[in-house]
Structure 1
Amino acid sequence: MPVQSLQNTDVIVLQHAPHPLLPFLQSQSQTTLTRLYQRPSSCLSIFRLLGPIERQLIMNLLWLESALSAATMSAWVLPEGKNAYDSALSVMTGLHIAQNSTVKLALNPTFKSSLRQAITGGGNTGSFGVPADKDSKRQSANIENLDAYALERWETILHYMVSSGQGQNPAKPSQGVLYLLQRSGLMNNAHGAVLQITSSGFQFLLHSPHDQLWNLLLQYLHMAEERQMDLVEVLSFLFMLSTMDLGRVRQIQYDCEYSTEPLSETQKAMLEDLRDYGLVWQRKTSSKRFSPTRLATTLTSSSPPLPSSHSTGGSRTADGTGAVALSSGAAQQGFIVLETNYRIYAYTDNPLQTAVLNLFITMKYRFPNLVVGMLTRESVRKALGNGISADQIISYLTTHAHPQMRKNNPLLPVTVQDQIRLWELERNRLKSAEGYLYKDFASQADYEYVLAYAKQLDVVLWENAAKRCFFGTLEGHANVRGFIERRTESV
């Protein structure tokens, strides 16, 4: 392993953000991870999620039949790469991929064996899925159909998040999806029976589809135990899906449908949930075959999980396999123009993007590919009331700014940013709380005595010495009242 290779990798790893699944895996027991590593597809998927230095260390240890001296390995590392090297070893040890030893370095034997099998092939474990028997009577879904299905399911979830509670009636996801959105804290029903988006939910919309999907899947994993689902089976099925082939390629008429027969009971139960999220397509619920969508096959890769659904200034292009993919220009294309008079022009016909804007602007006009609106005190206060902060509004406008706007410095007008924050401060200057007002004390001494006792309990919210009154919390009322009654009886 050349020294220069580690030095270059060190530069890369500083820019590599750890995958959100890794901390969850590190929190699991060694027994759980060892069971997971018995599946080659799981080992390959976890290998993909690791950073470049971790991957390089694994590949250098993978084909060694005996442990390597830790001193020998560290001698290959330049001084400036020492911190990155130690961090990589810490990640591998936390995942029980590498054995925790300061003398010898070696991979977990189970992980090593499975990853070797994933790379070289062989075995009949069905870890990468078992292809269904070819059915000449039925035509399997092609890539375009799978993309359309995944996009429709995923945008149904996002559109419901931004439109529910706004006087609209969007298509409603399944009860399982709604429960997951509540458990994730992305929506709540604090203002009534109707679910509404929360501050965390709005922040969720700012993330990429890949991060959004893993945000929900992590919550799904946390719920596995209470649903009496085997966590290893849940994880291994997600990893299996991420290594499967996508759809039917027209040129070679190759069907990529997989059989449900080898799946465990836990994994068969997961199919219903994953259909609701758009990760899996089945012709009908009782079908004994299924096809993963692009949302599933890109879970552990850096490829975009969704095609473009509507034009936002970009275009859609077909890749070599016939799949509709989002071009790099369209993926980075902004669509919002904000003027100093608080007027917003959004060049989009995407109903989801329009619904997001409707959370914090007042709509004025809608054209086939243009939405015009205003940032007003009322619209921003409505957003603040739904838990959306001023910084999140500014962040959304910055993230989706039109390329023409990006020529400005600063990007957004300072006066508009300041006014949004002032509206937030205006709303937050008063706070309401339930409690009791204590007044009409017989003397100043009585007032001060009771007030001192209430302050010891830390239940005083407001006081006015001139009028001999103070306001206490609802929880502290019983203690303060009891103290006043005891003092009155003693007098």
Structure 2
Amino acid sequence: MPSLTTQSETLTPESIPHTLLPFLQSQSQNTLTRLYQRPSSCFSIFRLTGPLERQIIMNLLWLESAIPIATMSAWVIREGKKLYDAALTTLANLHILPQSNVKLALNPTFKASFRQAITGGGNSSSFGVPAEKDDKRSTNTVETLDAYALERWETILHYMVSSGQGSLPTKPSQGVLYLLQRSGLMTQNHGSALQITSAGFQFLLHTPHDQLWDLLLQYLHMAEERQMDLVEVLSFLFMLSTMDLGREYSTEGLSETQKAMLEDLRDYGLVWQRKATSKRFSPTRLATTLTSSCPPLPTSTGTSGGPQSQGFIVLETNYRIYAYTDKPLQTAVLNLFITMKYRFPNLVVGMLTRESVKKALSNGISAEQIISYLTTHAHPQMRKNNPLLPVTVQDQIRLWELERNRLKSEEGYLYKDFGSHADYEYVLNYAKQLDVVLWENTSRRCFFGSLDGHTNIRGFIERRTNGAV
């Protein structure tokens, strides 16, 4: 058996836990055991775990009996003890390992299914059932699937950036719009069109892979209220992640929940179907890379995460911005916080102004998020500077934010015209005990109380006037 080694405690992209793992750890043991009956689910979850967790699983996978926990611990160097304990905790929370201080053994269901996933055999359709080749129909190529996925995904991002305004060639489905609202990425103000939120702008800074899982996690949270079987939903996503790109699969072996999911996943660009009633479908690259480290889009025009999208912004000390890009989505994101001056085929020129930044702030975008975006996408030539962005520009953006936050409005009631200073002090002290005083002026014998405390204060004044207090 190979010895168990650990890495240093430096966080690397591979060592950062996947966003789905906390959700899986919050599920019951019964739910996870049902999920582990599918070999594709076990294989996908194995890929989502960290390198140390994967090594522990592989060390235990082919053992026919449990081993003492002291035996495994003896293989761990002292510097790696903390990482090793964290890995055991993660696997125990996933119910892959038992909660035991004596012996270690893999969950029997997980072990059997994962062995089958690696070695093959059996008649399980958890990896999908390939559809019979139909020479009469033109089979989708990888290029057409990539173009379809890119178009669907960018439709969602373009809608978020434009907040439903402007001329969009296509609009996301109602299901996607509802998901964007439930995720807190967009909000509806006074019956108007959906508006991007601060969380939505932060979402645009993520890689396409992280963006996709952010939406899918909210989709999983909504499964119960939609009366969908969570195990079926998860297993279908894991099934898609193990399928071959460019191959057609049959819908015959899918459950009713999974067939219903096809309509939603078409809207996100994860699957392609010739028509809604088709008995076959093809996963796109967005789906087949769900549990891998490969990029989900071939030529991602997202706002981060690919070489095409990084290093295109030059910021000068006079607040002028030059963006070397021909991507409409990147131009639309910049338009959220700059004033456009000129647009050329591969260059956008604009200015950071007080009005443009205040407009972004009113839409929920913070000064730090603007600075972070400019830093993340700074041109390679700018990365020679120290500091990377002009300090004067950074400070001015923060000052514009502070200027906007100087005043804060809140509804309430003004209490004045007290008969004596004693009456004023008596009522004021009562209001302070309730912690509802927002402002006070002793010389004028008046104070302003919050809306929530008005009923209690009014009742107190009436009781004092009637002599009950």
Aligned residues: 468
Tell me, yes or no, if the aligned pair for 2:7 and 2:80 is still in contact at 8 Å: no
Tell me, yes or no, if the aligned pair for 2:14 and 2:51 is still in contact at 8 Å: no
Find out whether 1:364 has 2:355 as its counterpart.
no
Equivalence for 1:162: 161
CA positional deviation for 1:482: 1.4
Deviation larger for 282-291 or 188-197: 188-197
Equivalence for 1:193: 192
Q: TM-score, normalised by structure 2?
A: 0.96
CA positional deviation for 1:14: 9.1
Equivalence for 1:116: 115
Equivalence for 1:323: none
Superposition pairs for residues 235-274 of structure 1, below 5 Å?
Answer: 235-247=234-246, 256-274=247-265
Q: Distance in 1 between matches of 2:423 and 2:173?
A: 60
Q: Distance in 1 between matches of 2:54 and 2:341?
A: 52
Percent identity of equivalent pairs:
81
Q: Distance in 2 between matches of 1:114 and 1:426?
A: 59
SS in 2 for 1:6: coil
Equivalence for 2:298: 307
SS in 1 for 2:343: strand
Equivalence for 1:284: 275
Superposition pairs for residues 403-418 of structure 1, below 5 Å?
Answer: 403-418=380-395
Q: Distance in 1 between matches of 2:53 and 2:456?
A: 58
Q: Distance in 2 between matches of 1:375 and 1:486?
A: 57
SS in 1 for 2:5: helix
Per-residue CA distance 1:96-139 (angstroms, 9 max, x = gap) = 00112111110000000000000000111201000111111101
CA positional deviation for 1:310: 5.8
Superposition pairs for residues 94-109 of structure 1, below 5 Å?
Answer: 94-109=93-108
Tell me, yes or no, if the aligned pair for 2:301 and 2:329 is still in contact at 8 Å: no
Tell me, yes or no, if the aligned pair for 1:460 and 1:470 is still in contact at 8 Å: yes
Q: In the superposition, relative to structure 1, how do residues 97 and 13 fare at CA in structure 2: closer, same or farther (>3 Å)?
A: farther
Q: In the superposition, relative to structure 1, how do residues 283 and 15 fare at CA in structure 2: closer, same or farther (>3 Å)?
A: closer
SS in 1 for 2:282: strand
Superposition pairs for residues 89-488 of structure 1, below 5 Å?
Answer: 89-164=88-163, 169=168, 171-247=170-246, 256-308=247-299, 329-330=307-308, 333-488=310-465
Q: Distance in 1 between matches of 2:308 and 2:12?
A: 27
Tell me, yes or no, if the aligned pair for 2:245 and 2:288 is still in contact at 8 Å: yes
CA positional deviation for 1:459: 1.2
Q: Distance in 2 between matches of 1:329 and 1:229?
A: 38
Counterpart amino acid of 2:203? F
CA positional deviation for 1:171: 3.1
Per-residue CA distance 1:137-160 (angstroms, 9 max, x = gap) = 101210000000000000000000
CA positional deviation for 1:329: 4.6
Tell me, yes or no, if the aligned pair for 1:160 and 1:170 is still in contact at 8 Å: no
Tell me, yes or no, if the aligned pair for 2:6 and 2:83 is still in contact at 8 Å: no
Q: In the superposition, relative to structure 1, how do residues 11 and 414 fare at CA in structure 2: closer, same or farther (>3 Å)?
A: closer
CA positional deviation for 1:483: 1.3
Per-residue CA distance 1:178-206 (angstroms, 9 max, x = gap) = 00000000000135421000000000011
- Which consecutive aligned stretches of 4+ in structure 1 deviate over 6 angstroms post-superposition? 9-15
Tell me, yes or no, if the aligned pair for 2:286 and 2:297 is still in contact at 8 Å: yes
Q: Distance in 1 between matches of 2:179 and 2:14?
A: 32
Per-residue CA distance 1:343-375 (angstroms, 9 max, x = gap) = 001111111111111110011111111111000
Equivalence for 1:322: none
Q: Distance in 2 between matches of 1:243 and 1:131?
A: 12
SS in 2 for 1:196: strand
Superposition pairs for residues 11-160 of structure 1, below 5 Å?
Answer: 16-160=15-159
Q: Distance in 2 between matches of 1:167 and 1:462?
A: 43
Q: Distance in 1 between matches of 2:453 and 2:464?
A: 17
Q: Distance in 2 between matches of 1:23 and 1:111?
A: 18
CA positional deviation for 1:240: 0.0
Q: Distance in 2 between matches of 1:477 and 1:368?
A: 60
The answer for unaligned runs of 5 or more in structure 2 is none
Tell me, yes or no, if the aligned pair for 1:311 and 1:349 is still in contact at 8 Å: no
CA positional deviation for 1:167: 5.3
CA positional deviation for 1:41: 0.1
Counterpart amino acid of 1:171? T
Counterpart amino acid of 1:262? G
CA positional deviation for 1:475: 1.6
